[in-house]
Amino acid sequence: MDTQAALISRMDRLAHSRPGLFRARAIGTLALGYAGAACLALAPFGAATLGLLALRHTRAPLAAAPAALVLVLLAIWVASRRSPAPGLPGESIDAIEADGLHAMLTRLRCRLRVAYPREVRVTAQFDAALFQDSNQGIFGRGAARSVLLLGLPLMKCLSEAQLEAVLAHELGHLVGVNAAATSRARHLQIALQRLQGDLFRENGRPWRILSRVLAWYLPRLEACTVVWARANETDADRVAAELTSPQLLAQALVAHAVVGEYWHRHYWRWVGQSTRELPPRLLCPYTSFNVAAFRAAPEELRRQWLETAIRLDPGPTASHRSLWARIEAAGSLPELALPVPGRTADRLLRAECARLDALFDRRWREGTVAARRLLHGLLHYPAGGAG
């Protein structure tokens, strides 16, 4: 049996060598999933119809009517069931609090002719993403709404022009055929995975058979989804390069990879060492972090991080291509060009920047103190040792 990585690699090769055949197979896979979901949704209606027809030949129609009603309600539930709305990270900001950022977004979305994000949230992560809400049931319209997630640490290491390239890339996910196909495939994948999880709790033979069918189908749907997502990422990079410039896109990609490596592996290691010497209430890791913190690292180490980021292979199951492949496709060269302190993109948030830094610092301190208390309790009162 093929592994998931082998399935994705095979579909990726097909997409590059014979794009027409790949599109036909991917659309066929998507259609098969929707046909199966339609059968699941319509099966109770069929059973209810047969039950109502059988009422003519029974002497107890009132006893059979509740059963038919239950089947109809079950069908409606299957077709319209929604998953719980995920809790998104970060804090929402409006146009008044960060008018510079929203003006930049408005200018980009008008040029792309896409809908303005339903919400803009600033997070404590070193990343940027466009969350697309597909919580509309199996036969919903897909990702009709989007939420833009912007990491405050990332904004502290980009210029305003580089951030514009990042925003253009994120909004570029909403443009083109691959955007619609990726949204549809992910929407169906989430709905069927949720159904598969429900079937694991059932013991009847029909449920086991359906679970096996889903176990065969979902890896193939995921393979198509990943390949479509890669094409969508390529489209988003192209949009960002056209709206800003290939050089700005390359600089933003390199900053995200290289400074992100420093943020995850080195900065927080230093914060952890500081907590051994100082109480958490005296530390402000989010407020203290800025582009100058990265510039303080030795130049040889920064060069090593850049080379590592360029050589890094994201693997066959990743939805992104390698950093070098993305920069080369944009028609530029890798360049680590960081803004000078005081000229970074977090200025677009105005007073909100200081408020969010203080909020993220407070949450970090509360989490650190809670973790220490838990560790202290486990060390002094091991399981079974108290009481």
Residue 203: band (very low, low, confident or very high) from pLDDT cuts 50, 70, 90: low
Mean pLDDT of the 267-296 span: 90
pLDDT of residue 316: 81
Q: Is residue 121 very low, low, confident or very high in pLDDT (cuts 50, 70, 90)? A: very high
pLDDT confidence tier of residue 83, bands split at 50, 70 and 90 = very low
Residue 205: which pLDDT band, with cuts at 50, 70 and 90?
A: low
* Nearest by Cα to 75 from 98, 93, 53, 49: 49
Asked if the model's pLDDT at residue 46 lies above 80, the reply is no
Q: pTM above 0.95?
A: no
Is the pLDDT assigned to residue 371 strictly greater than 60?
Answer: yes
Is 190 a residue whose pLDDT tops 70?
yes
| pLDDT for position 379 | 56
Q: Report which of residues 324 and 201 the model is more confident about.
A: 324
Look at residue 10 and tell me whether its pLDDT is greater than 80.
yes
Select the more confidently predicted residue: 25 or 180.
25
**d(Cα 206, Cα 217) in Å, to the nearest integer?**
17
On whether the CB atoms of residues 128 and 150 are closer than 8 A, the answer is: yes
Q: What is the mean pLDDT of residues 161-174?
A: 95
pLDDT at 149: 94
Instruction: Report the C-alpha gap between 98 and 115 in whole angstroms.
Output: 19
Q: Dihedrals φ, ψ of 150, to 5°? A: -120, 125
